[in-house]
Amino acid sequence: MRLPVATLSILSLLTLGPTASRGADAPPLSSETRKTIKTMKETWEKQVKQLTSQIKDQPDRVGFYSRRADALFYLGRFDAAVTDYEKMVELDKKLDAPHWRRGIAWFYAGTFKKAAHQFEIYNSFDDVDRENGIWRFFSQARAYGLARARQGLLKYKKDDREPFPSVYRLFAGKTTPEKILASITSAKIDKTEREKRLFYAQLYIGLDHAIHDRDQKALAHLREAVANTWGPRSGFGPHYMWQVGRLHYELLAAKAKKKAEKPKPGKSS
Q: Which H helix or E strand runs over 55? A: helix 31-57
Q: Is residue 5 part of a domain?
A: no
Report the CATH number that the domain containing residue 49 is assigned in CATH.
1.25.40.10
In this structure, are residues 48 and 72 in contact, taking their beta carbons and an 8 Å threshold? yes
Residue 79 is assigned to a structural domain of this protein:
yes
Has residue 42 been placed in a domain?
Answer: yes
The pLDDT profile of the chain, 269 residues, written as one tens digit per residue, is 233 333 333 333 333 333 333 344 456 788 888 888 899 999 999 999 999 999 999 999 999 999 999 999 999 999 999 999 999 999 999 999 999 999 999 999 999 999 999 999 999 899 999 999 999 999 999 999 999 999 999 999 887 899 999 999 999 999 999 999 999 999 999 999 999 999 999 999 999 999 999 999 999 999 999 999 898 776 544 589 999 999 999 999 999 988 888 777 665 54
- Given this model, what pLDDT does residue 235 score? 52
Residue at 63 is within a domain: yes
Contact between residue 168 and residue 134 where contact means Cβ atoms under 8 Å apart: yes
Domain that holds residue 65: 38-96
- CB-based burial of residue 39 (10 Å sphere; 0-12 exposed, 13-18 middle, 19+ buried)? exposed
**In one letter, which amino acid is 204?**
Y
Count of structural domains, the chain: 1
- Asked whether 125 and 95 are in contact (CB, 8 A), the reply is no
Q: Can you give the pLDDT at residue 267?
A: 59
- Does residue 67 form part of some domain? yes
Cβ-contact 22, 256 below 8 angstroms: no
Does 89 reside within a domain? yes
For residue 233, the model assigns a pLDDT of: 75
- Closest by alpha carbon to 90, among 126, 119, 65, 55? 65
Alpha helices in 109-190 (DSSP H): 112-125, 130-144, 146-151, 164-171, 177-186
Q: How far apart are CA 38 and CA 20, in angstroms?
A: 17
pTM: 0.86
For residue 74, give the nearest of 36, 107, 44 by alpha carbon. Answer: 44
Per-residue pLDDT at 189: 96
Q: Collapsing DSSP states into helix, strand and coil, what is residue 236?
A: coil
Residue 27 pLDDT: 62
Q: Supply the pLDDT for residue 263.
A: 77
